[in-house]
């Protein structure tokens, strides 16, 4: 069972986005800055309900699960944050990084990787 808030939003970043930034990060920028803290993420929040539904769809597509999860929608809980996302303007300025993998594409690639890595699911 999944317990979640229907209206909550968060940003998601496919792992290749993190790797791309990390591969560029050691190079000083034009100001000679070698070390700086960056918020590596996505600047476009997605609905958690869309995330769960898309993940479910992809896991079923690759035969990893065969039915939808039971979902119980709850009100905001203490400590819950309505919406989170990264400010990637410094990454864009210093390294030309801009998140480009859509939620649909990233979750499809994840489900395919999961099926192949764990040798589960069908041959779709």
Residue 123: inside a domain, yes or no?
A: no
Domain that holds residue 69: 2-118
Q: Which of 2-6, 14-18, 68-72, 101-105 has the lowest mean pLDDT?
A: 2-6
The enclosing domain of 12 has a CATH number of 3.40.50.720
Residue 124: inside a domain, yes or no?
A: no
Residue 37: burial class (beta carbons within 10 Å; 0-12, 13-18, 19+): exposed
Residue 108: inside a domain, yes or no?
A: yes
Q: State residue 21's pLDDT score.
A: 75
Structural domain count of the chain: 1
Model confidence at 3: pLDDT above 70: no
Convert the pLDDT of each residue in 19-41 to its tens digit. 877 777 666 667 776 677 888 88
Chain mean position to CA 106: 7
Prediction pTM value: 0.81
Rounded to the nearest integer, the mean pLDDT of the chain is 85
Residue 7: inside a domain, yes or no?
A: yes
């Amino acid at each position: 069972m999944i317990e979640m808030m229907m209206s909550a939003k968060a940003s998601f970043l496919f792992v290749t986005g993190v790797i791309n930034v990390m591969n560029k990060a050691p190079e000083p920028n034009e100001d000679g800055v070698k070390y700086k803290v960056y918020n590596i993420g996505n600047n476009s929040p997605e609905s958690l309900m869309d995330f769960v539904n898309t993940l479910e769809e992809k896991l079923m597509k690759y035969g990893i699960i065969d039915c939808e999860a039971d979902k119980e929608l709850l009100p905001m809980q203490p400590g819950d944050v309505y919406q989170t996302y990264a400010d990637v303007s410094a990454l864009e300025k210093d390294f030309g990084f801009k998140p480009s993998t859509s939620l649909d594409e990233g979750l499809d690639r994840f489900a395919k990787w999961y099926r192949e890595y764990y040798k589960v699911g069908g041959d779709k």
